[in-house]
Chains A and B, each alone.
Chain A
Amino acid sequence: MSDLSALEAETLTAIAAAQDEAALETVRVASLGKKGSISALLATLGKMSPDERKSAGAQINALKDKVSDALTQRRSLLKDAALQMRLASETVDVTLPVRDSGIESGRIHPISQVMDELTAIFADLGFSIAEGPDVESDDYNFTRLNFPVGHPAREMHDTFFFNPNEAGERKLLRTHTSPVQVRTMLSQKPPIRVICPGRTYRCDSDQTHTPMFHQVEGLVIDKQANLGHLKWILEESCKAFFEVPHVKMRFRPSFFPFTEPSMEVDIQCSRKGGEIRFGEGDDWLEILGCGMVHPNVLRNCGVDPDEYQGFAWGMGIDRIAMLKYGMPDLRPFFEADVRWLSHYGFRPLDFPTLAGGLSA
C-alpha cells in the first residue's frame, strides 16, 4: 500500500501548500473531485474481490476522510487569514470628526424655556394659559384696570401709541399683560384660574430696560380666594420655579391702580460671586407685584365684587430667567447673538416637566 501512503503524503503537502481558497479548491478537485486521484481509487473497488475490497476499501476511505479533514481545516485557516487581510484593509481613522446633528446644536431661547416651566407648574395647580393681542385698546390696557385719567402711564413718554384710526380710536401696545385679565373676566364666568404670559412694551431703553419685554400674570377669581391663598401660590410657585426646597418672602404694602390691597414681594437671597441663591442669605430682592383685584376692576369686567373676589400678580419673565439662569444683562435677550443663544439657550429635548424636574 505504499501507493496510498505516497498519495496521502503528496495530497496533504498540496493542501498545506495551497495559499488561497482557489488553490485549495484545485487540490480538492484533483483528489476528491469526480476525476480526482482518491475518487479514482474508490472507483477501483468495484472490480475487487470482496476480501480485497474490504481491506482496500477501509484504507482508501480512511485516506479520503483524512484528506477531507485536512481540506476543511486548511479552508478554515485560509478563510480566517483572508478575513484578517480584509479587516486590515478596511481599517479607517475613527478619530475623524463627525458632524453634529441638529438635536445637539439647536437651541431654545431662555424666554421660551421659562414660559414652558411656568406652564408646567401652573397647569398642575389647575391654571389655564390665557393670551391676548399685543395691540390693545386704551380701555382694556388702562380704563377697565382702574387707571385714572391723567395717570402718567397713559402718556406718550411711557406708552407706545398708534395714530388714531378712522373711528378716532387710539390703539396702543399693551404696557403689561393685565388686559388679558380683563379679556378673561369678560369672556368667562368665575371660578377663574389663569396665567397670562406674553410680550409687553414700554417707551424705555437703558441698561436695565428694553422697549419690549415679557411678563407673566396670574389671576384667580372665585368666592373665597384671599391674601393667604395668594401667599401660598407665590411661595409654592417660586419654590417650584427656582427649584429650591424653601423660599422666604417678604410682602410689602404698595400701590397699583388695579389691586387693593396691593403688595410688592421681596424674596430672600444671598449674593456670592455674582450668583444669586434663594432660600438663604440676608439680602432681599424685589421679584413681583400683586394684590387683591380692585373692586372697580371686577365691576368694570362684569364681576360683582361683593359676590366674587380674587387676586392677581405679575412679574417679568426675562427677569426671573436672569435670576434663575444667571444672565447678567437684559439687552442680549433680544440681540440674537448666536454665541449668547448657544450658551444660555436650552437643548431641544430639555422639555421641562414636574415629573422630571424643570431643568436638567
Chain B
Amino acid sequence: MKFTLSWLKDHLETSATANDIIETLTRIGLEVEHVDNPAEKLKDFVVAYVIDAKQHPNADRLRVCMVDAGLEAPVQVVCGAPNARTGIKSVFALPGAYIPAKNITLGKGVIRGVESNGMLCSAFELELSEDHDGIIELPEDATVGQRYADYAGLNEPVIEINLTPNRPDATGVHGIARDLAAAGLGRLKEREIKPLAASFPCPVSVMLDFASEDKHLAPQFALRLVRGVKNGPSPDWMQKRLKEIGLRPINALVDITNYMTFDRARPLHVFDAKKVAGNLVVRRAKSGEEILALDGKTYALDASHIVICDDKGVESIAGIMGGEASGCDETTTDVLIESALWDPLTIARAGRGLGIVSDARYRFERGIDPASVLPGLELATHLVLDICGGEASQITSVGEQPAGKANIEFPWSEVKRLTGLDLPTNDMAAILETLGFGVMRQAGNADRIFVQIPSWRPDVDGKADLVEEITRIAGLDRVTSTPLLRDEATIAKPILTLLQKRTRAARRALAARGLIEAVTWSFVSKERATLFGGGQPSLALANPIAADLSDMRPSLLPGLIGAVQRNADRGLGDVALFEVGQIFKGDGENDQRMSAAAVRRGTAKPAGTGRHWTGREASVDVFDAKADVLSLLNSLGVATGGLQLVAGGPSYLHPGRSGTLQFGPKNIIGYFGELHPRVLEDLDVQGPVVAFEIMLDEIPAPKAKPTKTKGKLEMSDFQPLERDFAFIVDRSVKAGDILRAAQGADKALISGANVFDIYEGTGIPEGKKSVGVSLTLQPRDKTLTDIEIEAVATKVVAEVTKKTGATLRG
C-alpha cells in the first residue's frame, strides 16, 4: 500500500512531521517498508532545450545535439532517440549524474568520434514509466534549467507500508489516517456523504443468479447510471496522485475508480453503458467461457470464478478485473458505476488461479468494508459529476449488507492480564472509540464493557483482538520486561530425553573420529529413495520443488553419498562425512526415525587421509565403517553384551563386505559395509565408498538403576597370561564364531580373545585359512599350574573344533 503525505493530509488534520508519521506507522503495526522521495533520486535532472540537433557524421541512428540546460554555455550531447530534434524541451543530465534505472553514474564520453557531455533522458531512465522509445518531451513553457522533479511536482515523499493481511481497512488512505489519529497524531477528517437526489431510475437491472448455498459469494451489488458525461483526462491533481504511487492515469472515469480504491479502500468498476447489452446478471462463470480483460489478455473461466454478464456474455471478472469490451474510453458518454461485495476467499482463489494481480483483488481478498457499498457509490458519483459532468440515475441495489458481528463482552482487566500493561480505562476507551469501536459501559460494573466492532474490521472478533488494538496504539514499548524465572527455587534439572541425549552425543562422537557433519535435504530423488529401501507412494511429494527432491529419504546414505561425490567432483575425493537426522519409513506419526550415518570415500580412513611417510596409502574398507559404528555405540554407553553382528546387509551394500547389527533378529539397529558396486554405478559415484547407518531410536534403553553406583571393581592379585593358538578352518568360517567358541570354553578364566593373524597360501590347504587367536587367561584366586593351563587349552581346542570344524595348525 502506497500513499503520499499530502494525500494522507486530506484525511488527517495533523501538524506531525513526516518522520513522526513514518515512525508512528511502524510503531502501530503499519510497517513502513520504503519511503521514496523521487526528488531525491531525480536531483541531477534538469529541464533543457535542444537548440540544435544534427545527424551524427559517423552513425545513421545518432544525432549530435547542442543543449541549453541553463548553464553558461550550451552542452554537446550525442543522442540515439528518434525524437531528439531541434526545438524540443526535454530532461537532461550532466556527467556525474546518477541514472536510477541503469544504476550507473554518467561519465563524459566519445561516441563514434564525437564528444558527448551528458544525456537526454527517457521516462524509463528516470524510472517514471516503462517508456523508453524516446526522450521525454516537455511543453514549450517548461523553464530551462529548473530541476525536473520540481517542474513535474515529483517532490512528495511516497510512503509504502507492508500491510499484514488482517487489515483491509488500511488498504485505503482514510483507514491509515484513522489509525494515526488514534495514535494521537491528529484528527481524522470525516466527510459526510450525502445521497444524491436523482430524478430517473437506473435503466439497467441486476440479478444475483446464485444457488442458495452460494448466496455468500456476492452479498450485495449496487449500480447507477450517469448519462451525458465527458470522459477526458482526469484533473491534474488526481493524475499527479496516481502517478506518485505508480499508477498510470487512463481517463477520468477509470482514474476515479482507481482513486477510490486507494483513497477509501473501495474498489469500483465502470462500464460504458452503450456497450452493455440488456441487463446484468451476476453468477458463477461456466466452463468454456472466456473474457478479454482490461490488461489485454484473454482468460479462460470456469465455475470457480464469479462474473458479471450482459446479453452478450461475460463483461467483467468480479472483484478482479473488468472486460475490454465494455470498458470506458474517451468516447464514453453514459457510464454504469458498480459497487459490490464479494466473498474474499473466492476472489483470492480466482485471482490466484487466473494469475491476475490487481488493486481490486488485493482489497476484495482481504475483505472490503461491507457498509461501503452505497456510500462508496455515492462518493464516486460525486467525483464523476464534478469531473465529467452528466446526470445520475437512482441506485439499483440487489442483495443486502451482511449482518455485523455480535458485540464483545470485554473486561478492561484483560489488557493487564495478557500484557502486564496497566492503563487507565479512559485511555483505553479513547483508543477504541477513535478506532471506530463502540464502547458501551455497564452500570454497576466498572470493569466490564460491551464493544461494538466497526464494519471495516473483519479481523476483530474476540477479547484478545481488543487487547491487541489497545496495546498497539498505546505502544508496545510501554510493556515492561518482567523476569520469568524457573518455577521452583532449585538448581536447573536435566531436561533432555534419552534419544535427545544420544542424538547430541552421537554428533560429538562421530566428529571426534574425524568425520565432518553434513546436513542434507530430507528429500531425495525417487530413484535414490528406491535404491535405499524407500520410494513408496505415501512418501512421494505431490508438489516437489525439483525432480531430484521428490521423495522423503528412507536413509541418510543417498544424501551423504551424493554429497561425497559432489566434493570428489571438486577435487576433494578423500572425504568422510556424517549426518545425524530424521529418516522416514512411512507417513505415520511413528514412522520417523532418528538415524546416524557416516560415509567414507577414497583414502579417508580413521587413522588419516591420503599418503603419509609413516606407511602405505590405503583405501577405506568395511572395517573402517565397522570401527566407526562400534566406536559410536561405545561412546553412547550402549551395553553391547547382547549386540549381534550378522554377516551381510541390505541390497545397497556389498553382500560379502557388509554386516548387520542387531539386538536379536527383531531388533536390527543398523548396518555397515562397502557400497554395492552396482548401486555406486546407478548413483554415478566412483568408489571405494564405505558407510554405516544406525537408528538411534532402535537402540535399547539402559536398564534403570536405583543409584548411580558403578558396579564393583574386581581386580585379581594374579598376573594374566596369554596363550596363542593357530586354527586351520574353512575359508568361510567366521572369526567371530571362533572367538566366541574359544571364549565359551571357560568363561570364568578366559577374559579376552583376539585375532592376531589371518593367513592363506603356502602351507595351508586350498580353501582353508589359518586364524591366529590369542587368549588372555585371568586367574582369580591362585596362580595357574602348567597342568591347569594345558587343560584349558585342550578345552579351547575341543570347543573351537566342535563349533567350527577347526584343526589346530601343526
The proximity string for A residues 330-349 relative to B, scoring 1 for CB distances below 8 Å and 0 otherwise, is: 00011111110110010111
Assess whether B462 is interfacial by the CB under 8 Å rule: yes
Contact of B348 among A104, A135, A150, A201 (CB under 8 A): A150
A171 to B419 alpha-carbon distance, docked (Å): 36
How close is B89's CB to chain A, nearest CB, in angstroms?
Answer: 43
Is the beta-carbon distance between B464 and A294 smaller than 8 angstroms? yes
Contact of B484 among A205, A232, A305 (CB under 8 A): A232
A111 to B517 alpha-carbon distance, docked (Å): 10
Residues of chain A within 8 A of B420, CB atoms compared = 226-229
Is the beta-carbon distance between B31 and A254 smaller than 8 angstroms? yes
A107 to B598 alpha-carbon distance, docked (Å): 13
Nearest 8 interchain pairs by C-beta: A102-B514, A253-B29, A336-B563, A228-B420, A261-B468, A106-B511, A228-B482, A255-B164
Assess whether A125 is interfacial by the CB under 8 Å rule: yes
Assess whether B403 is interfacial by the CB under 8 Å rule: no
* Nearest residue, chain B, Cβ from A171: B587
Is the beta-carbon distance between A162 and B541 smaller than 8 angstroms? yes
A252 to B582 alpha-carbon distance, docked (Å): 36
Contact of B487 among A107, A134, A191, A212 (CB under 8 A): A191
How close is A120's CB to chain B, nearest CB, in angstroms?
Answer: 10
Assess whether A325 is interfacial by the CB under 8 Å rule: no
Task: Find residues 164-212 in chain A having any chain B CB closer than 8 Å to their own CB.
Answer: 165, 170-171, 173, 191, 199, 201, 203-205, 211-212
Assess whether B333 is interfacial by the CB under 8 Å rule: no
How close is B120's CB to chain A, nearest CB, in angstroms?
Answer: 36
Residues of chain B within 8 A of A220, CB atoms compared = 484
Whether A260 touches B464, Cβ cut-off 8 Å, given contacts A106-B512, A108-B507, A212-B521, is yes
A212 to B497 alpha-carbon distance, docked (Å): 25
Is the beta-carbon distance between B518 and A109 smaller than 8 angstroms? yes
A64 to B541 alpha-carbon distance, docked (Å): 101
A196 to B166 alpha-carbon distance, docked (Å): 27
Assess whether A360 is interfacial by the CB under 8 Å rule: no
A side interface size, CB within 8 A: 91
The proximity string for B residues 482-501 relative to A, scoring 1 for CB distances below 8 Å and 0 otherwise, is: 11111100001111110010
Whether A129 touches B464, Cβ cut-off 8 Å, given contacts A161-B541, A171-B587, is no
How close is A320's CB to chain B, nearest CB, in angstroms?
Answer: 15
Contact of A251 among B476, B581, B613 (CB under 8 A): B476
The 15 listed contacts between A and B (C-beta, < 8 Å) are A106-B514, A108-B508, A129-B496, A149-B345, A152-B348, A157-B352, A161-B543, A228-B419, A232-B481, A235-B481, A253-B472, A261-B467, A336-B518, A338-B567, A338-B575
User: In which size bucket is the chain B interface?
Assistant: 35 or more
Assess whether B544 is interfacial by the CB under 8 Å rule: yes
* Nearest residue, chain B, Cβ from A250: B477
A317 to B164 alpha-carbon distance, docked (Å): 24
* Nearest residue, chain B, Cβ from A341: B516
Assess whether B354 is interfacial by the CB under 8 Å rule: no
Contact of B496 among A119, A126, A296 (CB under 8 A): A119
Is the beta-carbon distance between A106 and B510 smaller than 8 angstroms? yes
Assess whether A315 is interfacial by the CB under 8 Å rule: no
Residues of chain B within 8 A of A351, CB atoms compared = 508
* Nearest residue, chain A, Cβ from B31: A252
Residues of chain B within 8 A of A31, CB atoms compared = none
Assess whether B443 is interfacial by the CB under 8 Å rule: no
Whether A341 touches B518, Cβ cut-off 8 Å, given contacts A135-B592, A225-B484, A255-B165, is yes
Task: Find residues 656-714 in chain B having any chain A CB closer than 8 Å to their own CB.
Answer: none
Assess whether A10 is interfacial by the CB under 8 Å rule: no
Is the beta-carbon distance between A103 and B512 smaller than 8 angstroms? yes
The proximity string for B residues 415-430 relative to A, scoring 1 for CB distances below 8 Å and 0 otherwise, is: 0111111000000000
Task: Find residues 591-621 in chain B having any chain A CB closer than 8 Å to their own CB.
Answer: 591-592, 606-608, 612-614
How close is A113's CB to chain B, nearest CB, in angstroms?
Answer: 9
Interface contacts beyond A260-B464, A261-B472, A292-B464: sample of 12 additional A-B pairs, CB < 8 Å, sorted by A: A100-B514, A107-B516, A107-B517, A149-B345, A160-B541, A170-B542, A227-B479, A228-B480, A253-B29, A260-B467, A336-B520, A338-B577
Residues of chain A within 8 A of B463, CB atoms compared = 295
Contact of B481 among A228, A338, A342 (CB under 8 A): A228
Assess whether A262 is interfacial by the CB under 8 Å rule: yes
Assess whether B18 is interfacial by the CB under 8 Å rule: no
Task: Find residues 561-593 in chain B having any chain A CB closer than 8 Å to their own CB.
Answer: 563, 566-567, 570, 572, 575, 577, 580-582, 584, 587, 589, 591-592
Is the beta-carbon distance between B417 and A226 smaller than 8 angstroms? yes
Assess whether B28 is interfacial by the CB under 8 Å rule: yes
A252 to B471 alpha-carbon distance, docked (Å): 11
Is the beta-carbon distance between B164 and A128 smaller than 8 angstroms? no
